[in-house]
Amino acid sequence: MEHHSGGSGTNKNKQMVEQLQRYGVISSKKVVEVMETIDRALFVPDGTPAYVDSPMAIGYNATISAPHMHATCLQLLEENLQPGMHALDVGSGTGYLTACFATMVGPQGRAIGVEHIPELVAASIKNIEKSAAASLLKGGSLSVHAGDGREGWPEHAPYDAIHVGAAAPEIPQPLIDQLKPGGRMVIPVGKIFQDLQVVDKNLDGSVSIRSETAVRYVPLTSRDAQLKGY
């Protein structure tokens, strides 16, 4: 029955965010705000449950990450996603996190998505156009590009925040190079056993790396390997 459905999509998105707060995944007000602003349902393929806390297939052997992983990464990067800052989302997939980053850094900032499957780039742009980040895309502070994200995106480097949405066997050097001193990268590293690593570039250019948690992501690899099923 209608009144048992949990209300409109936006309400259900809000309920998902509230649940992540109850579970202790999100404690940051800014992360709550951005996840309420960007409706996850606009980013999952039609017919896919949008608000279930699990990754979902998006085609091309890729997945949209689970809401709790999006929340965790947003929270780890929060200080580096302040208005005016530059953010890079490698393996941007559906564009969900790129839209969140763009919303946080605002029109004076820059949010770049890089994704190596051109069809996913096109689909992500359509998703973003339906979302609350549409005006940022139109205004040019948000853009998504087809390319090998292991090379980063030098044009708008250095970045305050870099997020990598696929697991790298080791941290690609171009991404470390494109991190601003004071900047932070969050990247899953490993093959079968993976760690979500937090890479902080210190003001003297050295890097400090720590492991946040064990994770399971699709690999950061070549397009051919991905389309063959790795």
Residue 218 Cβ, how far from ligand SAH at the closest point, in Å?
5
- Exactly one of 65, 124, 131, 141 is catalytic; name it: 65
Site for ligand SAH in 77-106 (CB under 6 A): 91-94, 96-97
The alpha carbons of the chain give a radius of gyration, in whole angstroms, of: 17
Of the candidates 145, 109, 117, the residue with the CA atom closest to the CA atom of residue 34: 109
Nearer to ligand SAH (CB atom), residue 2 or residue 193: 193
Q: Is 65 a catalytic residue?
A: yes
Residue 149 Cβ, how far from ligand SAH at the closest point, in Å?
3
Q: How far apart are CA 185 and CA 164, in angstroms?
A: 8
Count of residues in contact with ligand SAH, rule CB under 6 A: 25
Distances (CA, A) of 206 to 164, 176, 189, 200: 20, 10, 19, 8
Among positions 148, 195, 200, 212, the unique one binding ligand SAH when judged by CB under 6 A: 148
Number of other CB atoms surrounding residue 216 within 10 Å? 14
Q: Rule CB under 6 A: is residue 166 a binding residue for ligand SAH? A: yes
Q: Rule CB under 6 A: is residue 127 a binding residue for ligand SAH? A: no
| Both structure tokens of 53 | 């806390």
Distances (CA, A) of 85 to 109, 171, 179: 5, 22, 12
Among positions 109, 152, 165, 188, the unique one binding ligand SAH when judged by CB under 6 A: 165
Measured in whole angstroms, the distance separating CA 46 from the mean position of its chain's CA atoms is 20
Where does this chain bind ligand SAH (CB under 6 A)? 60, 62-65, 91-94, 96-97, 114-117, 120, 148-150, 165-166, 218, 220-221, 226
Query: What residues are annotated to the active site?
Result: 65
